[in-house]
C-alpha cells in the first residue's frame, strides 16, 4: 500500500494500529485519540485496546473498572464531549490473570486438564505475579479480538519500548519455547517418574539448585500444558502473520526530548528490520514553535534590557503597580529565555527525525492535561490533520 498522507487516512485504511514507544510520552492518550478520530471520521466499529499494566485507558477515558470486557462508549457520551460519532467506539483493557484463565479454559482439551493447570502453583505465579508472560498474552488477546471479525479497526496501546520489543518477539519466543527439544526432553522421562530423570547431569544440577519438588511442579505443569502446545504454536504463528500483514501498521509515539526520542529511533529501526509497516511517528507535547524562533530570543533580551522603561509605560496604561509590573515583565523575559533553550533543543531533535517515518506528526503541548473525552477529541483532530 502507498503511504497515507495523514493519520486519519492511515486509520481509515488499516485494521490494526499498534501505538508503541517509550514510557511517559502519552501513548495511551494518543491511542485513544486515534481511535476516537477514526470513530468520528468514518462509519465503522473501532476498538481501542490497552495492554499497559498500569491500565491507564480507563483514566484517560474517564472510565473505570471496565475489566477485561469490551465496553462501548455510547454516542450520547461522545456527543456530550463535542464529538459527532459516525462509527462506534469501544474500549477494552487487558486483565492479565483473567486473559490467561480464559485462554486455558478455552483451549484445554477438557475441564479436568484446565483445572489441573489453573491450580498448579507455577501457573498461579506465572499469571499473577510476574510480567514476562504479559507480552505473550497481549498478543493472544489481540489475535482473539481480531479473529472475531467484529472490528473495522483495532488500536492497540503497548507497554514501553523495550517491553514492546519483547511483545513483538513474544509469539516467536513462545513457539521456540514449546517446540524446544529441552522441553520434550524434560517431560519425556517424567512419564517414567522423577527418578528416571535423576541420572541426567542437568537434573542433578537443577535439583541441587531448585530441589526435587520444584522440578516435579515444573514437569507436572508442562505435562498438563502439553495437550495445548499445538494451539499455542499455531496461534503464535498467526499473530506473527498478523503483525506483518499489510492491514497492520505501527505508530511510534515519543516526545521531542533527547532520551525518549532516542528510544523511538531505536524502535523505528527495529520495526524496519523486522519489515513491519511504520505508519508514522507522533511527537507529543512539543513546545510552541514560536519559542524556538530567533526573534523570540531577541525580544526576550530586549525586554530584559529595557524592563524598567517598558514596565513604567505598561503600568501607566493598565493603572498597575510599577514595581510589580517590572517584576512580572522581568520574570516573563527570563522564563522565555529559559524555554527558548529547551525549544531549540527540541527543534533540532525534530529536524533530526523529520524523515524517520513516512508521516511525522507534531502535537503541541496543551495547556491542560488531556484527561477527558473532549481533550481526547481535540487531540484526535490535531493528529488527523494532513501533514
Is residue 280 at the binding interface for other proteins, with CB under 8 A as the rule? Answer: no
In the list 12, 101, 102, 217, the residue contacting other proteins (rule: CB under 8 A) is 217
CB closer to other proteins out of 147 and 213: 213
In the list 93, 156, 303, 383, the residue contacting other proteins (rule: CB under 8 A) is 303
Is residue 335 at the binding interface for other proteins, with CB under 8 A as the rule? Answer: yes
Using N-to-C axis directions, what is the helix angle for 96-107 and 121-128, rounded to 10°? 130
Q: Among 74-82, 140-148, 149-157, 203-211, which window interacts with other proteins (CB under 8 A)?
A: 203-211
**Bridge partners of residue 157, in order along the sequence:** 19, 50
CB closer to other proteins out of 41 and 296: 296
Is residue 64 at the binding interface for other proteins, with CB under 8 A as the rule? Answer: no
Full strand arrangement of the beta sheet holding 71-73: 71-73, 88-93, 45-50, 153-157, 16-20, 248-254, 278-286, 360-364
Is residue 283 at the binding interface for other proteins, with CB under 8 A as the rule? Answer: no
Q: How far is CA 201 from the centre of its chain?
A: 43
| # chain residues binding other proteins, by CB under 8 A | 86
Instruction: Compute the least distance from the CB of residue 385 to other proteins, in Å.
Output: 20
CB closer to other proteins out of 221 and 229: 221
In the list 80, 84, 205, 305, the residue contacting other proteins (rule: CB under 8 A) is 205
Is residue 317 at the binding interface for other proteins, with CB under 8 A as the rule? Answer: yes
Read out DSSP for 196-243? HHTTSHHHHHHHHHH-HHHHHHHHHHHHHHHTTHHHHHHHHHHHHHHH
3-state secondary structure of 369: coil
In the list 30, 242, 264, 291, the residue contacting other proteins (rule: CB under 8 A) is 291
Is residue 236 at the binding interface for other proteins, with CB under 8 A as the rule? Answer: no
Is residue 121 at the binding interface for other proteins, with CB under 8 A as the rule? Answer: yes
**What distance in Å separates the CA atoms of residue 165 and residue 273, rounded to the nearest whole number?**
12
Is residue 184 at the binding interface for other proteins, with CB under 8 A as the rule? Answer: no
- Per-residue cell: 47: 476498538
What are the φ and ψ backbone dihedral angles of 228, each rounded to 5 degrees? -100, -5
Is residue 182 at the binding interface for other proteins, with CB under 8 A as the rule? Answer: yes
**What distance in Å separates the CA atoms of residue 35 and residue 213, rounded to the nearest whole number?**
49
CB closer to other proteins out of 40 and 340: 340
**What distance in Å separates the CA atoms of residue 82 and residue 98, rounded to the nearest whole number?**
34
Instruction: Compute the least distance from the CB of residue 323 to other proteins, in Å.
Output: 11
Is residue 65 at the binding interface for other proteins, with CB under 8 A as the rule? Answer: no
* Straight-line distance from the first to the last Cα atom of the chain, in angstroms, rounded to the nearest whole number: 18
Whole-angstrom Cα Rg for the chain: 27
Instruction: Compute the least distance from the CB of residue 358 to other proteins, in Å.
Output: 25
Greatest CA separation found in the chain?
Answer: 97
Is residue 333 at the binding interface for other proteins, with CB under 8 A as the rule? Answer: yes
In the list 1, 5, 43, 59, the residue contacting other proteins (rule: CB under 8 A) is 59
In the list 45, 247, 274, 293, the residue contacting other proteins (rule: CB under 8 A) is 293
Amino acid at each position: 500500500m502507498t503511504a497515507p498522507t495523514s493519520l486519519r487516512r492511515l486509520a481509515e485504511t488499516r485494521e490494526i494500529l499498534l501505538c508503541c514507544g517509550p514510557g511517559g510520552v502519552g501513548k495511551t492518550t494518543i491511542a485513544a485519540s486515534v481511535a476516537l478520530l477514526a470513530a468520528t471520521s468514518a462509519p465503522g466499529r473501532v476498538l481501542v485496546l490497552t495492554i499497559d499494566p498500569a491500565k491507564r485507558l480507563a483514566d484517560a477515558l474517564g472510565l473505570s473498572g471496565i475489566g477485561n470486557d469490551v465496553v462501548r462508549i455510547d454516542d450520547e457520551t461522545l456527543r456530550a464531549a463535542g464529538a459527532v460519532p459516525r462509527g462506534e467506539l469501544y474500549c477494552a483493557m487487558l486483565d492479565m490473570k483473567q486473559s490467561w484463565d480464559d485462554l486455558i479454559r478455552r483451549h484445554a482439551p477438557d475441564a479436568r486438564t484446565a483445572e489441573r493447570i489453573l491450580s498448579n502453583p507455577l501457573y498461579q505465579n506465572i499469571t499473577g505475579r510476574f510480567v514476562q508472560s504479559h507480552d505473550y498474552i497481549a498478543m493472544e488477546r489481540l489475535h482473539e479480538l481480531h479473529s472475531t471479525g467484529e472490528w473495522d479497526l483495532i488500536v492497540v496501546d503497548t507497554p514501553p519500548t523495550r517491553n514492546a520489543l519483547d511483545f513483538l518477539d513474544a509469539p516467536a519466543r513462545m513457539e521456540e519455547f514449546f517446540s524446544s527439544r529441552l522441553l520434550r526432553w524434560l517431560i519425556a522421562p517424567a512419564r517414567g517418574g522423577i527418578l528416571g530423570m535423576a541420572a541426567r547431569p542437568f537434573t542433578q544440577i537443577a535439583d541441587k539448585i531448585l530441589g526435587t519438588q520444584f522440578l516435579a511442579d515444573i514437569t507436572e505443569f508442562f505435562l498438563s500444558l502439553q495437550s495445548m502446545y499445538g494451539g499455542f504454536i499455531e496461534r503464535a504463528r498467526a499473530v506473527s502473520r498478523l503483525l506483518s500483514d499489510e492491514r497492520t501498521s505501527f505508530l511510534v509515539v515519543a516526545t521531542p526530548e533527547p532520551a525518549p526520542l532516542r528510544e523511538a529511533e531505536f524502535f523505528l529501526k527495529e520495526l524496519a528490520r523486522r519489515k513491519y509497516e511504520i505508519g508514522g511517528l507522533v511527537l507529543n507535547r512539543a513546545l510552541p514553535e514560536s519559542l524556538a524562533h530567533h526573534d523570540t530570543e531577541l525580544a526576550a533580551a530586549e525586554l530584559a534590557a529595557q524592563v524598567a522603561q517598558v514596565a513604567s509605560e505598561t503600568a501607566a496604561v493598565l493603572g498597575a503597580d510599577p514595581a510589580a509590573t517590572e517584576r512580572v515583565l522581568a520574570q516573563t523575559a527570563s522564563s522565555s529565555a529559559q524555554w527558548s533553550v529547551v525549544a531549540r533543543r527540541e527543534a533540532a531533535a525534530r529536524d533530526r527525525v523529520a524523515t524517520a517515518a513516512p508521516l511525522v506528526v507534531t502535537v503541541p503541548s496543551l495547556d491542560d492535561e488531556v484527561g477527558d473525552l473532549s481533550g481526547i477529541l481535540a487531540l484526535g483532530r490535531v493528529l488527523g490533520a494532513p501533514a
